[in-house]
């Protein structure tokens, strides 16, 4: 499989996974959290799928496409640890967190996701979902949509 | 349609278009030209699909993924005008050119593609194909694969 096909498969997994999670959390009350804005493509998808949810965004810097810039009040620019602590303090609670951090160094990315798990848990509503390409800890892993290859995405339910 | 879905549609059009063109030029003798290496995803796809073709690559700079770096002798780093003239002088002839230049400024990108058309023509074998997201001139436009939405990609046959 070429890197072009691999990229398409990754986008398909993102689309299917986020659509599935949006539907699965439709009955819950709360906000959405996008960790890692990047170019803003998945943010754009989340806001299109869940137009009535407030979508918080955490990133170290704003470098999204001009059409995908979150409202200023929802964009938390800085280190994730501080921003998650801030969200918890403000009593913001998420029905869905999409975790998309990573610099492409497998060990570092894995360690960061495990470390941040403990800070994500307090901002989740009970039964809320975490969708991530990195393994997390402290949540209940659940199967996602059947269309996504095993191990490509992880789906977790908050306790 | 979200930007995430739009990106997936673009990748699908690239995959379908390049696969179609590779098959359509299978009976011709010559090389392949990738104009615009970028991260190297389409280059990776081309070399996977056409392992027996020499694939020339033109770009202003090498910034591809480490797994997608062309052999040094096939990478022409510099301005396209000079590199195309160089290819013509060296009698390199292409059965397929994939044109992927563009900086995202529609008028500039369109003008550049039209200007470079006249320099691409001399390096094509008769009946060779140009696959491009920008309109070209001096070639015969042909319909591509049915799966690609009208106007998303252009397919041209060299005279």
Res A115: pLDDT: 96
Q: For residue B146, which phi and psi values (nearest 5 degrees)?
A: -65, -25
Residue ranges making up the domain that contains B38: 3-157
Give residues 11 to 70 of A whose Cβ lies within 8 Å of B. Answer: 11-12, 14-15, 39-42, 44-45, 48-49, 65, 67-68
Res B83: pLDDT: 97
The stretch B28-46 carries a mean pLDDT of 97
Res A103: pLDDT: 86
Measured at the alpha carbon of residue A141, what is the angle toward residues A137 and A145, in degrees to the nearest 5?
140
* Token pair 């570092």: residue: A108
CATH code for the domain of A141: 3.40.50.150
Res B150: pLDDT: 72
Which residues on chain B are in Cβ contact (under 8 Å) with A39? 3
Judge whether residue B148 has pLDDT over 90: no
Report ipTM (2 d.p.): 0.92
Closest CA to A145 of A131, A158, A134, A125: A131
What is the average pLDDT value for chain A, to the nearest integer? 95
Radius of gyration, alpha carbons of chain A: 15
The stretch B28-37 carries a mean pLDDT of 98
Whether residue A41 and residue B7 make contact (CB cut-off 8 A), yes or no, is yes
Res B66: pLDDT: 92
- Between strands B154-157 and B124-132, the pairing is antiparallel
The DSSP result for chain A, as a single string, is --HHHHHHHHHHHHHHHHHHHHHHTTTS-SEEEEE--TTSHHHHHHHHH-TTS-EEEEESS----GGGPPPGGGEEES-HHHHHHHHHHTT--EEEEEE----S-HHHHHHHHHHHHHHHGGGEEEEEEEEESS--SSSEEE---TTSPTTTSEEEE--
Least confident of A132-141, B75-84, B148-157: B148-157
Closest CA to A49 of A107, A155, A131: A131
What is the average pLDDT value for chain B, to the nearest integer? 95
Specify the number of domains making up chain A. 1
Q: Which two tokens stand for residue A133?
A: 């390409």
The stretch A41-59 carries a mean pLDDT of 97
Strand (E) or helix (H) holding B21: helix B3-24
Q: Which of B15, B39, B67 sits opposite A5 (nearest CB)?
A: B15
Question: pLDDT tens digits, residue range A73-101?
Answer: 999 999 999 999 999 999 999 999 999 99
Closest CA to A86 of A96, A97, A95, A74: A74
Alpha-carbon separation of residue B3 from A64, A113, B60, B158 (angstroms) = 12, 26, 27, 34
Rounded to two decimals, what is the model's pTM?
0.86
Q: Could you tell me the pLDDT band of residue A151, with boundaries at 50, 70 and 90?
A: confident
Judge whether residue B129 has pLDDT over 90: yes
* Token pair 């959390």: residue: A25
Question: pLDDT tens digits, residue range B50-106?
Answer: 999 999 999 999 999 999 999 999 999 999 999 999 999 999 999 999 999 998 899
Whether residue A3 and residue B49 make contact (CB cut-off 8 A), yes or no, is no
Q: Which of B3, B5, B48 sits opposite A2 (nearest CB)?
A: B48
Radius of gyration, alpha carbons of chain B: 15
Whether residue B41 and residue A7 make contact (CB cut-off 8 A), yes or no, is yes
A-chain residue closest to B42, CA distance: A4
Res A104: pLDDT: 83
Whether residue A2 and residue B40 make contact (CB cut-off 8 A), yes or no, is no
């Amino acid at each position: 499989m070429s890197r072009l096909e691999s990229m398409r498969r990754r986008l398909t997994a993102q689309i299917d996974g986020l659509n599935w999670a949006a539907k699965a959390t439709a009955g819950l009350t709360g906000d959405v959290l996008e960790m890692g804005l990047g170019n803003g493509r998945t943010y754009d998808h989340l806001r299109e799928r869940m137009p009535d949810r407030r979508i918080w965004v955490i990133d170290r810097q704003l470098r999204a496409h001009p059409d995908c810039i979150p409202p200023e009040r929802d964009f938390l620019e800085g280190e994730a640890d501080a921003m998650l602590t801030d969200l918890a303090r403000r009593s913001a609670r998420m029905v869905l967190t999409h975790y998309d951090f990573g610099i492409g160094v497998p060990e570092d990315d894995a360690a960061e996701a495990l470390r941040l798990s403990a800070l994500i848990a307090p901002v989740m509503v009970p039964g809320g979902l975490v969708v991530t390409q990195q393994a997390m800890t402290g949540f209940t892993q659940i199967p996602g949509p059947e269309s996504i290859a095993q191990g490509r995405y992880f789906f977790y339910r908050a306790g």
